[in-house]
Amino acid sequence: DGTTYADLPFKFEAGTPNVGGNIALGAAVDFIESIGHENIQNHENALLDYAQKKLLEIENLKIYGEKAKRTGVVSFTLEGAGIASDAGMILDKMGIAVRTGHHCTQPIMDYYKIAGTVRASFAVYNTFEEIDILAEGVKKAQRMLM
């Protein structure tokens, strides 16, 4: 028979609040706190160092920002192996999740004349074995594309 509006600012809230998302956020915070921020950072740094070492063993692979201080992300290209998305699709077929492309950095990619990179990201739940699988997958993709 009518509509009742809440007072501002809730008047403009669309639909039901994201209750499930709020519960999940609380669980995520509890998870992080149980492990500890420093432990997470140390693990991610160790993964990053290991990944960089394993990837640099691959001939004609170039890592961008190799010496930079960064979080658990490695961006690379396979020289002479076509575009980054080709390698990304092959890795995907092997069950290895990576990102490819410009990664929202088109201006700097244009400046350095980089057509795109493959980007692998590591987090607290990743393992050194997964990095070994990534390195082997990159080698296989490289053989297929060369």
Which residues partner with 61 through β-bridges? 78
What does pTM read for this prediction?
0.82
DSSP label at 6?
A: P
Q: Other CB atoms closer than 10 Å to residue 87's CB: what's the count?
A: 26
Residue 31 identity:
F
At 3 the pLDDT is: 80
The pair of three-digit structure tokens given for residue 85, joined into one six-digit string = 């998305």
DSSP SS3 for 119: strand
| 109/107 Cα distance (integer angstroms) | 5
Does the annotation mark 93 as catalytic? no
Q: What pLDDT, on the 0 to 100 scale, is given for residue 14? A: 74
Query: CA angle 69-72-75, nearest 5°?
Result: 80
What's the confidence (pLDDT) of residue 88?
95
Catalytic-role residue among 33, 34, 104, 125:
104
Phi-psi region of 84 (alpha: psi -120 to 50; beta: other; left: phi over 0): alpha
Instruction: Provide the pLDDT for residue 66.
Output: 77
CA dihedral 87, 89, 94, 96 (to 10 degrees): 80
List the chain pLDDT tens, one digit each, 146 residues: 778 888 888 888 777 788 999 999 999 999 999 999 999 999 999 999 999 999 999 999 999 987 778 888 999 999 888 889 999 999 999 999 999 999 988 898 999 899 999 999 999 999 999 999 999 999 999 999 98
